[in-house]
Structure formats: structure tokens, C-alpha cells
A = this chain, B = another copy of it.
Amino acid sequence: MGLNILVAHGGGPTPVINSSLQGVAEAARESGKVDKIYAARFGAEGILKGDLIDLTDVPAATIARLSHTPASAIGSCRRKLTDADYPTVIETLKKFKIDCFFYNGGNDSMDTCNKVNELAKKEGLDLRVIGIPKTIDNDLDITDHCPGFGSAARFSAIGASELALEASGLPIHVVVMEVMGRNAGWLTAASALADRITNCEVLTYLPEQLVDTDQMMADIEREYAKGKGLLVTISEGCCGLDGKPLADSGIVDGFGHVIPGGTAQHISDMIIQQLNIKSRAEKPGLMGRNDMSRISNPDREEAYAVGKFALESAIRGESGYMVAIDAHRGETYSFDLFLAPLERVANVEKKFPLEWIVEGNKIDDKFFEYANPLMGGNFPQYAILR
């Protein structure tokens, strides 16, 4: 008799979250050691309700389309499991005779994953628990980077390039672009590649540094005065010198995190009011984690490989780990996978290195040496004749 496996998604999607699911499912089929492939419908909610999707007989062609599908194909949620929930989780795992449990998520989810693993051990269950990392924010520790980051960063870099060209081709206003990432500035930093790609002026603000808005307005006024157009990219989570978000939606998510809102619009309004310069804010927002046309190929391949590695590790009997990536940035890019203890990644947030932020609004080349291979390289070459 083979193994029964369960995959669940936690938190927001990435453009490649379903590639990892495909990796798990296809490796499970290839292994010949898996009986039932289950997915939790809407993540923790499905586990608590005992509402699982049976993927065992889903056609191979449908599984193969997963890596071309945005958002979570099996559904996700933001419910943070409490101590009171864990017995119900164990009940579902028992009811469906689950041998291997894969939880795909960020640092909150790795905490959940860790707790399920420990509780299962305490209950004497022969359950193998493996965490599959994903987050566009790239804020997980130990792993060189997270699946999902490369694609969202590519969206950020190329999207910002196109907006920089708009701003310089029709220089009638300052364009302010808001980038996702509440506390970690990795994605916003990627937008600064726009100045390398387009040779346009770009000012970039990360949440790791408090923003002195007086200085920011002075910098914007000076750069805009050059008449070449100006793009400002800013993290949704940027705070002012008082340590409070520049803009605040007033909404708190299921994990208790305050959701910032309208940061770009806020800065755009300041530009209009304080500098008397036209400005407009763009907020691609959730598009940044769902745009399948800007997928980074290495990111998609890694996400798939991470899912496959998780399945293979569990079959070997490993438990209590998250799959992590070791990257080799030589002449060509390559990577290895390894297992990192869950307790070392749970609830830890990896911030953008402060030494890669130059004068408050520029990003050092060192970041791009790190990030460009993850974004898939091959950035567009434009014909600018003006």
C-alpha cells in the first residue's frame, strides 16, 4: 500500500505557486509510491473542514497547465491556526490517512508547518511534514531566495521600465509606482532596474529605511526639473520619520498585520500639493503576483524542482524541514536544493540589506548581481530615438 499525501497553500499566491504543486503531483505519480494525492480546498480552511480535493485522477494535461495558472489553483486563505485548531488538523490528517503533508507558504506558514510536525510527533503519528517556500516578498531566511520572488521581481523591473519610458516619453507628470512588500523591500529594489534598462531617472524607496518626505520632495523637484521625466517607485509599506506608514488602509489581515494602502497615491498627492508638479500614482498591486506573462523561467523551474524535492524528501522519510535553495551565480546560473529545519525559518523575516541602499533612493549593483539571474535575465532592449 502506497502513501497518501496532502498539499495545502497558505497566504497570498505567487506567479509560480502552482508550479510547485505541479512538481509535487508529477513527482508523486512518477514515484509509484503514492496512492492518493489530496489538496486542501482553500488551505487551512479546507483542512479544518475536512474539505480536501482529490487530485489523484486529474488528467496529466490539466496538471501540466498548473504552471500556466495564476493565483492558487486549489485555493488559499489567511487564517492563522490557533492552538485550539490543531486537534482538528490532526483529525483530518487521520481521517484521510495522510502520510505526507506539504505546506506551501511564507514564514507564517512555516510556523504552522512546524507546529503540525511537532504535534504529530507528540500524537505518535507517522506523519512527514515538509514546508515548500513561496513568497514574492523574498523574506524567508536560510534559503538564498524564495520561489515566486524572481517572477514578481521581473514584473517589478520590466513594469517599472515601461512606466519610466512613459514618464520620459511624455514628461508631463511624475509617475509614482507602488510595489508590494510590506516590510521587506526586495521587490521594490527590483523596480530600480528600470534605470539600468531604460537610462531614465528613477528614485526608489524601500521600507527598510524611514522616508524623510521633505528630502524626498526636494529630490523629486530637482530630478523632475531636468525635464527628462521621472519615475518614483515606492514600497507599499514605507514609513515616515515617525515610524508610521506613509499611508494606512486601516485594514488588519488574518495574521494581525496592518495592511498599508495608497502609499503611491499619498506621495503623488504630496507632489501635486507641495511642488505644484503634475503627478499620477499607479498601483498594479495584486497584478504583481499574478502576471503570468512576466514569469521568470528559472523561477518557474525552481518552484517546480522545490515541489518535486519536497515529495522525494518525504518519501525518503524526512520530516520537519523546509526545502531551501542554494544558488550558484557563476558564468551561468545554477542551484541546489537542501533541507532547512522548520524552526529556523518560522517567523523570521529577512530584510533587504541596508548597505545596498544608496543615498536613500538608489540601489547598489550588488543587488542586481544577486537578483538578475533570478529574474531570468534577457531584459528588453528598447529603441529610444528621442
Contacts and interface: CB of A to CB of B under 8 A. Distances in A.
Contacts of A166: 13, 70-71, 286, 289-290
Interface stretch (A73-81, A94-102, A370-378): A73-81
Nearest to A158: B293
A162 B291 contact: yes
Interface residues of A, number: 68
Contacts of A290: 162-163, 165-166
Nearest to A251: B278
A315 interface: no
Contact of A74 (B76, B159, B289, B386): B386
Interface in A173-228: 175
B159 A69 contact: no
A156 B72 CA distance: 21
A166 B73 CA distance: 10
B382 A69 contact: yes
Interface string A9-45: 0001100001000000000000000000001011000
Nearest to A17: B169
Contacts of A70: 162, 165-166, 382
Pick the most buried of A66, A382, A383: most chain B CB atoms within 10 A of its CB.
A383
Interface in A284-322: 284-287, 289-294
B272 A282 contact: no
Interface string A135-178: 00000000000000000000000110011011011111001000
B383 A69 contact: yes
Contact of A72 (B72, B170, B175): B170
Given A73-B385, A383-B63, A283 B286 contact: no
Given A55-B385, A75-B386, 16 more contacts: A53-B386, A68-B381, A69-B383, A71-B170, A73-B169, A73-B385, A74-B385, A76-B169, A77-B172, A78-B172, A162-B292, A165-B290, A172-B254, A280-B286, A281-B285, A283-B284
**Which 9 interchain pairs have the tightest Cβ spacing?**
A71-B169, A71-B165, A293-B293, A75-B386, A65-B383, A162-B290, A282-B285, A72-B169, A69-B382
Interface of A: 12-13, 18, 39, 41-42, 53, 55, 58, 62-63, 65-66, 68-78, 158-159, 162-163, 165-166, 168-172, 175, 249-251, 253-254, 259, 261-262, 265, 272, 278, 280-287, 289-294, 380-386
